[in-house]
Structures are given as structure tokens and as C-alpha cells.
Amino acid sequence: MVALILILKVTLLLAVVFRHLLPSPELFPTTCRTKAFIKIMRKIFSLFAAVLCAGSMLAGTVNVTFPMTGQTKVSSYSSSFTGQDVNGQTWTFSGFNNNNNGWAYIKCSSKNAVTTAVISTPLMAAKVNAFVLTVDKTSGIDSAKIEVLQSDSTVLASDSVTLKQGTDSFVVSGVSNAFYRLTIYNKKTGSNGATQISAIKLITETTDPAISCQEVKFGNAVSGTSQNVAITGENLTDSIEAVMLNGSHFTLNVGKVSKDGGNVTITVHATEEGEYTDTLMLASGTAFKHIAVTATVIQLTGDGTEGNPYTPADVIKLNNPGYTDVWVKGTIIGVYANNKPQKDSVNVNSNLALATGADTIPVALPNNDIRTALNLVDHPENLGYVVSVKGDLLAYFLTTGVKNVDSYLWETVPTAVENVAVEPKARKFYRNGQVYILHNGKVYDAFGSLMK
């Protein structure tokens, strides 16, 4: 019956794991199902084995009962003996009698003299928070203390404790990688063995193996966009394996990182416009983590370079990505005021409204020669001309816009530029605070003089 209950519990555990780790069927195509499935199953069966092997030992505790494994035999109250706990670590007992391992407890104190009995733990990697003793008899105890020691026997902390009959627990000012020593001072009693202890438990501070990683949200992104993802491992013994469960919408640059963690790069692989979701599966030993990866794939007209600038429609699709030093080209249709474009004459010289078709974005004009050259208050003739500006894609006027502009190029040259023949392919551009004209492969200044 016990075995049956255990099997049922493990089956339920596996069902829960499958329910939460596997993505929806539409995100799990046959072409990439096998590899991901094998990796997941390997990890799940590791967890299954850990559950079966857990037994009665409670995580975060060290239990000692008598006689211990490998316990040496003594039959006096002035001897020392050793024994191994369930983890195979050696404890030392001084001034205790175990009746040649014939008792399920240990005794101390003498009818002839005042004595001292000491229980010394092995080196404890985890911090010990409490001692729990099962004390059957206390009539021999005068006082007691608990000490925390470094490996060189330096005492880090020492506290007096009161031992009472029954299950006795006291807090320890423990640290990691330390020894613990309980000293019992026995008074002279009417008989030997007036102090009796039948069990010891150490409660340790433990952190379960864990993997940490934030959700990966690309927002609006074009195919090929990448994002670095930080993964952290705690108390792991194996490297962390990483796999995209779908594998067709997003790709990973590496399949594993160290047990302490590392970075992976996830790249959007989908090309069709739409919403995409996948799951990044992380596993190490019995530790699991599944991370949602989402992106809205968009298709753009430009790429933000001078030769192929973004359009206002592209900027709106990108939705404030924070890109810096990118080019955007559009037609000057007016300015922004009251958080919307104004095509009529408005006395605003600090921005422009750029458009392609029905898509319009605001462009902030810095207070320098760029504003002087482009603003519609001083140059109403600029209205209707096509211009490219280089700046940063940031929120502006409650929408997506361009700020920190540092360069511009005219697609068509305004007629107000003197002494320059205006032709469709002539361009006016801004460099280092100066305005220039590019015409028929030659560069002129703003007054039409040929630059040498």
C-alpha cells in the first residue's frame, strides 16, 4: 500500500510538471519536438529519481541517533568515542558512556566528581540555526554552552544554554563552514550517568537548487532582432541546459551555461508579421525553469541607415524602441501642438511633423542651426518638402517620435536657397553646424559656392 501511494504521488508530480513545462501544441511542431522532448524527459526522470531516493531524511536537518554508524565502543564516563551520522560525517563525544554500544542513548556525569562532557560536530558547510536535543535525564546538569568555531578552533560565538528534560531546542548564532561544540558541565551526583541524551538534530539553513531568469519580451521587433538574456544558478551541481521548446520562432546561440549561470542570446527567427510566443526551458539536475519568450514581429520599409532611412510608419511600428543615431525620412506637413499634428500655420518652431501617407510623427528640433534651418516659423517654404533627420527614437508628444537630432538631408531642395540650380536629385544636408548642397556629384555651401 505504501509503495502504491508513493507511485500515485510521483505520477501526480510528473503530471504537474508536464502540465506546466510543455507549451501549447501549436507551439510544439513535430520537426523540433523530439530533441526538446528528450531533454525535458531526461530532466524529469532525474527529478523522479530524486523523489524516490529522498526517503525519510528531511532536507535542512542532520539527525543523530544511537548507536551511530561506526560508533566506537566505550564503557566509562571519562572516555571519548566517535560515530558517523547519516551523511557519513564524523562526530566526537568526550566524557560520555555508550555501554559498548549497548544503549540507544548516551550518558554523562559521575558520582565521584564534577565532570565535563563535550559533543563536537563535523565541519558543517551550511549554517546551523538550531540544536535540538532529546534529553531523557537532566539531574546531573549544572550548566551548558554552545560554541561556533572556525576550522582553526577559533571561537566565533559562545552562548549559554539551558537544557531541560524532553525535546530541547535552542538557537545557534551559526555561520557557514564552521564546527559546533556543545559543552555540558555536570555536577557531582549520587550515581553515574545522571544526564542522558537519546537524539540530536541540527537544523541547517539550506537553499534549494534554483535557476533564475526574467521573462523575455521583445515587443515590436523585426526578424533577426537579438536580446541577451541573463541566467543565474544557485546551489547547482550541473551546468544549466537551455533549449527553445518550439525552435522555429526564436533561436538560441548556445545550449548550456555554467552551473552559476551566464548569458544566452535569443534571436527572433520568425519573418511573418504577427504575435509569437515560445518557451525557454532551463534545467540542471532537479532544478527547472521555463521562461516565456514573446515578440510582435513587424516588417519595415527602411533599416534606419542614411541610405535606407525609416519612414514615419516604421517608427510608429517600432513603438519607442530607444534606437539611437538612426535616420528617418518623411514629408514636412506641419508641426505638433496640443499632442497632435497641426497642418495649419502655427507659431511653433521647436518641432516638425513628418509624415508618409496617414502616418505622422513629431520631430524635436534642437535649439541650434538645425532649428534655424528647418523650422516652419522662419521657413514656411519648407512645408511639403521631404527631409531625412538623424536622431533617437523616443517617446514625444504622447507618441513615438525623433529627438536629439544632429543631422539632416533634404530629398528636395527648398527654392529659398540662393544661387543654386534646383533639380529633383539635389539634396541639402547638415554637417558640423553648416548647411551644404549636394548637386550633380558636387558639394556647394548654402550660398551656392562650390566647395573645394
Mean pLDDT over each residue of the chain, to the nearest integer: 82
Per-residue model confidence as pLDDT tens digits over 124-134: 988 888 889 99
When pLDDT is averaged across residues 47-70 and rounded to a whole number, the result is 63
Query: Would you give the DSSP letter of residue 191?
Result: S
Strands 216-221, 287-297: pairing kind? parallel
CA dihedral 48, 51, 54, 56 (to 10 degrees): -140
Return the minimum-mean-pLDDT range out of 99-108, 174-183, 189-198, 339-348: 339-348
Q: How far apart are CA 60 and CA 82, in angstroms?
A: 23
Q: How many residues does the chain have?
A: 452
Query: Residue 60's pLDDT band (boundaries 50, 70, 90)?
Result: confident
Return the minimum-mean-pLDDT range out of 48-57, 389-398, 401-410: 48-57
When pLDDT is averaged across residues 92-110 and rounded to a whole number, the result is 96
The answer to whether 386 and 343 have CB atoms below 8 angstroms apart is no
Highest mean pLDDT among 330-339, 403-412, 424-433: 330-339
Residue 347's CB is within 10 A of a number of other CB atoms, namely 8
pLDDT reported for residue 181: 95
* C-alpha cell at position 372: 534655424
Phi-psi category of residue 30: left, alpha or beta, with phi > 0 → left and psi -120 to 50 → alpha: alpha
When pLDDT is averaged across residues 191-211 and rounded to a whole number, the result is 88
Residue 110's CB is within 10 A of a number of other CB atoms, namely 22
pLDDT at 42 over 90: no
pLDDT at 110 over 70: yes
Q: How far apart are CA 235 and CA 232, in angstroms?
A: 10
Q: How far apart are CA 438 and CA 430, in angstroms?
A: 11
pLDDT at 247 over 80: no
pLDDT at 260 over 60: yes
When pLDDT is averaged across residues 195-217 and rounded to a whole number, the result is 88
Residue 245 dihedral angles phi and psi, to the nearest 5°: -65, -30
When pLDDT is averaged across residues 60-72 and rounded to a whole number, the result is 92
Residues 6+ apart with CB under 8 A from 207: 234, 235
When pLDDT is averaged across residues 201-207 and rounded to a whole number, the result is 80
Query: Residue 40's pLDDT band (boundaries 50, 70, 90)?
Result: low
Per-residue model confidence as pLDDT tens digits over 314-333: 999 998 778 899 999 999 99
pLDDT reported for residue 7: 43
pLDDT reported for residue 11: 44
pLDDT reported for residue 448: 58
The answer to whether 67 and 101 have CB atoms below 8 angstroms apart is yes
Residue-range domains of the chain with CATH = 61-204 (2.60.120), 208-299 (2.60.40.10), 312-445 (2.40.50)
